[in-house]
Amino acid sequence: MSADDAKLLETKGLTKVFGTLRANDQVDFDIRPGEIHALLGENGAGKSTLVKMLFGSLQPTGGIIEWRGEPVTVPSPSVARSMGIGMVFQHFSLFEALTVAENIALSMEPDVKTSQVAERARELSKQYGLPLDPDALVGDLSVGERQRIEIIRCLMQDPSLVILDEPTSVLTPQEADTLFETLFRLRDEGRAILYISHRLEEVQRLCSRATIMRHGKVVDICDPREETAATLAARMVGAELQDIRPAPVSLEAAPVILSVRGLSLAPDNPFAVALKNINFDVHSGEVLGIAGIAGEGQGEFFSALSGEVEQLPTGGTIELRGNDLSALNISERRKKGAAFVPEERHGHGAVTGMRLTDNMLLARHKSDQDSFQSGGGLGVIVRSAIRSATDRVNAAMDVRKGAPDPNAGSLSGGNLQKFIMGRELDRQPALLVVNQPTWGVDAGAAGHIRQSLVDLAASGSAVIMISQDLDEIFSIATRIAVIAKGTLSEPTDAAKMSREAVGLLMTGQTSDRAEVAA
């Protein structure tokens, strides 16, 4: 058998054009049976466009896709699945009010009974070490269990090629290890796995080949096991990445910026998480990292600190530099020196249909009345001050854009995140609370954002960073706390924490097994 015969899937000159943008430009790529192959690149490099064409969600402008050596057209995901191509997306498509089996059945043929689906799901969950109860309601399951549903749903189609998009972004270290065991089992069965991830240590552990894309083109193919995370990142961005330089801080001598005592919050919908008696302090010069699995109370925690919740906390106090914020809304908290960056960029952090200058005004008009409004804050907008602040933020955060003042929605995800972060950092707030600061952001932009958080803390401010990325937390956090089922663990010196201990706390295990590492 020749090397060409061994290729399960191959693309030749695959191209996708959107208007004047060549999202994929003459992409040559192949993957073989029994191979875990990484697809790497910055945001906007063309990874998503490529896999969408392989899965039938997009149609190529030019080029060829070959499946088992024969040219094919993949007009839809259903055709891709029938060919033997399965995909597990980063963002789950599950109905919380339905059972596991009912969710899986929605992707099957109409004549397949839910009872048959449940039986097959049980078999696959045992076969691949993915514990799952087909009769459980999805709304009652953890994020890790929900991902298992997506994997089982994919395996129900008996795929020869499995595409995984950021599969560990919402998993604890222990859940990730379980997933890796499953992937090795699939590989050993002769299935091909296309693995998309920004976690380069995982790529080195799992993958025997990596295809690296930049600006829509394939720029390199390598064996990641022979690289370091730094060299892989440099290949992705085309330049050496700067190391993050956290500043040392003595908490004993540093004043308390934020003090939270007895914070509780009742859920406002059936799937929300109640906050339960949360207590902590954050000091000047500190980055407090809040770890946790998605859906364990991070959103509610952010909303309680920011003042976005319509109902006041059912108990407790929030004090910023001695000022009680508990009864204040978000604008009033900003006036006291707090700043907030939410998880969702589009619609929450920015209005995508409005220009950057207008987004600057919306977020800061009440906290910057002296500069953004004239006449003692009587509502006369000073456009020159808004443009000046926007230009300053864009320059400081290296926001790359195609027009002097474009709509926020025209920016890439990483550049929009840098703008939103810079908009808040520019105020030099006493406290910054940020939820998922580098979610979906490429390595270069992520490094810039993390260094900005470190620099803000070094200037004397306090930073609370809520993140599902343990690499991120361990890289810049002074102390680490874990939120699980609405309860916050005691913040602990990051140097005394292990990933295993954090992982156990993320699953709500507070026994001796979760004690900090020596």
DSSP helix/strand/coil, 20 = coil
Q: Find all residues with CB under 8 Å of 486, minimum gap 6, and list them.
A: 273, 274, 275, 276, 296, 297, 300
> What pLDDT is recorded for position 268?
77
Determine the Cα–Cα distance for residues 512 and 425; give it in Å rounded to an integer: 39
Whether the per-residue pLDDT at 376 is higher than 70: the answer is no
Please write the tens of the pLDDT for every residue from 218-266.
Answer: 999 999 999 998 899 888 888 766 778 776 778 888 999 999 999 998 8
Least-confidence region, from 26-35, 56-65, 294-303, 486-495: 294-303
Please write the tens of the pLDDT for every residue from 96-126.
Answer: 899 999 999 998 888 889 999 999 999 999 9
Q: How confident is the model at residue 368 (pLDDT cuts 50, 70, 90)?
A: low
Whether the per-residue pLDDT at 461 is higher than 50: the answer is yes
CATH topology of domain 256-514: Rossmann fold (3.40.50)
Please write the tens of the pLDDT for every residue from 261-278.
Answer: 999 988 877 778 899 999
Whether the per-residue pLDDT at 381 is higher than 80: the answer is yes
CATH topology of domain 9-237: Rossmann fold (3.40.50)
Q: Which two tokens stand for residue 351?
A: 């209005």
Where in the sequence of the chain do the CATH 3.40.50.300 domains occur?
9-237, 256-514
Percentage of the chain modeled with pLDDT above 70 = 93
Please, what is the average pLDDT of the chain?
Answer: 89
Consecutive H or E run containing 462: strand 462-466
Q: How confident is the model at residue 510 (pLDDT cuts 50, 70, 90)?
A: low
> What pLDDT is recorded for position 511?
42
Determine the Cα–Cα distance for residues 500 and 332; give it in Å rounded to an integer: 40
> What pLDDT is recorded for position 313?
53
Whether the per-residue pLDDT at 353 is higher than 90: the answer is yes
Determine the Cα–Cα distance for residues 350 and 69; give it in Å rounded to an integer: 46
Nearest to 151 by CA among 139, 170, 50, 257: 170
Q: Find all residues with CB under 8 Å of 469, minimum gap 6, and list them.
A: 169, 199, 438
Please write the tens of the pLDDT for every residue from 286-316.
Answer: 999 999 987 789 999 999 999 988 555 566 8
Please write the tens of the pLDDT for every residue from 50-102.
Answer: 999 999 999 999 999 999 999 999 999 999 999 999 999 877 889 989 999 99
Determine the Cα–Cα distance for residues 288 and 213; give it in Å rounded to an integer: 34
Higher pLDDT pick, 386 / 45: 386
DSSP helix/strand/coil, 515 = coil
Determine the Cα–Cα distance for residues 301 and 86; give it in Å rounded to an integer: 36
46, 26 Cβ separation under 8 angstroms: no
Q: How many CB atoms lie within 10 A of CB 238?
A: 12
Whether the per-residue pLDDT at 413 is higher than 90: the answer is no
> What pLDDT is recorded for position 448?
87
